[in-house]
Structure formats: structure tokens, C-alpha cells
Structure 1
């Protein structure tokens, strides 16, 4: 039987399996994909936190941030959101990429912005939204990529801050997730 961690977020509770990442670190595995109830609840709560923020686009990181960005876009009346992909796709026009490191992925990784989306973002005010921020590598790379194309990040949001990320003042999150 796998050990679990009880995550409480507002009125919701989820049993997260504890998964060893390496010899020193175990995480409570939070997978937003498929959890419509939690996605909607989190998006409602985050929408309240950006009600007075002037922004043009929501940007998220593939893949677990996608349903959150979708719901948050809908709730904040933004018709479009942008996804930073983790690989280049054949349909992309003049993609821009940047290497990234993440606590949950051992292989080399990168974030890729379609050049068409880069043109949309130039000179725009954006929110970066993700499911969990842990080491901050992905969100920092996203920030650098957006800076490179001339977008201004006005707020960084996540459902959960994991480990030391909970002490950061540059991200806004709904709950803390310990490392084990």
C-alpha cells in the first residue's frame, strides 16, 4: 500500500501518493489533470486574487497547468491563453526555446514558445499560471522566455507551493505542499 498525504484545499481533500524522486526527496504527487472539481475551485480562488490586476494573457507551462489556464481564462473573460510547450512541434512558426530544469523530470527539458504566440505577447501584460511551483526552475525559465519576447509578467500564480517555494514572495498560491 502506497503511503499518502492528505492535501486540503478549501473544502476539498485529496489523497496524494508519496513518490520518491531520489534518495533524499519524496514528493506528494499532485496531478491536476482530470480533476475537474479541484481545477474549477482553484481557478475560482485564483480569479479572486487577480480581479484587480490588468492583464492581457494567461501563460501556462505544459501540461498540468493547461486545465487551470483554461478555466482561469474563462472565469476572467480572456478568450485566449498561451501554452509554453516542452518540445517543438511541426506546426510551430519560428519557435523560441530555452532549457529548463525541474524537480519532477530527470531528463533534459526545454520550454518552447511558438513564434506566432511570441508576436501576440510582445508588449503585453501576462500572468504565469502553473499547478505546482517547487524549485521554481520552470517558472523562472518561463519568465525569462517572456522577457525575451517583450512581455511583462505582472503576477505568478500556482495552486500549490512545494517545499521552499512556500517562502517566496514573488508567487501567489492557494496552499503549501511539503517535501518529505
Structure 2
């Protein structure tokens, strides 16, 4: 098996290291953090796809979706975006938590929404944005958490859909990422 996977996204090419998660599954490790060029390209492309869609906030999941949410918010003229954290922080007011499972993390996790942000997005139209959607566990949990606080999820966006996620019709993505 090769040691890298070549990802082509529009005019951009990246060599992604192949990382075994266990005896049966190896992933091509896509890390958006620090890649300003790819972040900007992906955000511009997604912004074009959602042009004309009425929404109030972009919501992302800590941490690799943050640069995409930042850039996409800027390009769509939204002053603020919401980050679902993976642990409760001391600064949070009345945090709301929900357990989550993810393909890339072996430990138990939770998604946490600051109560201040929960009030801000209650009754609002939101888009969930992430770098990669794979098993869909994180996105599903994010959707459930947002439903719990009264936000209406109108779209789910990602740069890449990994494995079977590429066959889903409820997410919008720019490229496919195989599992090995």
C-alpha cells in the first residue's frame, strides 16, 4: 500500500499520509488547520454553492472545521459563527452537552454548546460546516444538539465526504475521500 493518498480538489493537490486506525481501516489524514490556501478555496467554492440560501449562522465542530467556518462566514457576510466544543470550558454559561462518537477518535467525546450561543441561535436557521464527514456521528450529534436548543439546521456542508458518506444525499461536499 502506498504511504500517501493524492487529494485533488479543484486546482489544488495535497499528499495525505495514510494512517491506520485499526487492523481494518486506514484513513488518508486530511488536516485543514494551517492550510490557508485550501481553506480559502474550499470556502469560496462552498460560498458559491450556497449563494442565495437564507441562513443566520454557521456552526462548526471543534477543531478542524474552525478555519473553514471562519472563512465561509466572512465570505457570506456573517459576523459570527458558532463552535461546538469537545469539552466544557470554564468560561461557558450553562453549557449544553451531548455524547458523540467519531471515526477518528477512540475515546468517548461530547459536543458542548455554550448556553450563551444556545440563546443566540434558538429559532435561527443554521448550516453545519466541517472539514470531513465520515461516519456522520459528529454531524448527527451536532444536528441533535442544535435541534435541542431550537435551531433549524438547513444544510450540512463539508470539504470532503469520506467512505460511505459520499453516497449520502443530505450533505453537500466538494470531494470524496476513500477509506483504505
Matched residues in 2 for 1:51 and 1:116: separation?
A: 28
Q: Secondary structure at the match of 2:161?
A: strand
Per-residue CA distance 1:6-62 (angstroms, 9 max, x = gap): 000000000000000011000000000000000000000000111021000000000
- Structure 2 residue aligned with 1:167: 167
- Structure 2 residue aligned with 1:61: 61
Matched residues in 2 for 1:113 and 1:3: separation?
A: 38
Aligned residue runs from structure 1 range 93-112, under 5 A: 93-112=93-112
Asked whether 1:90 is paired with 2:84, we answer no
Aligned residue runs from structure 1 range 8-157, under 5 A: 8-157=8-157
Q: Secondary structure at the match of 1:17?
A: strand
Q: Secondary structure at the match of 2:164?
A: helix
Matched residues in 2 for 1:126 and 1:49: separation?
A: 15
Matched residues in 1 for 2:51 and 2:93: separation?
A: 33
Per-residue CA distance 1:123-154 (angstroms, 9 max, x = gap): 00000000000000000000000000000000
Q: Which runs of 5+ in 1 are unaligned?
A: none
Matched residues in 1 for 2:54 and 2:158: separation?
A: 18
Per-residue CA distance 1:55-109 (angstroms, 9 max, x = gap): 0000000000000000000000000000000000000000000000000000000
Shift of 1:172: 0.1
- Structure 2 residue aligned with 1:4: 4
Q: Secondary structure at the match of 1:106?
A: strand
CA RMSD of aligned residues (A): 0.6
Matched residues in 2 for 1:134 and 1:142: separation?
A: 14
Equivalent residue pairs, number: 179
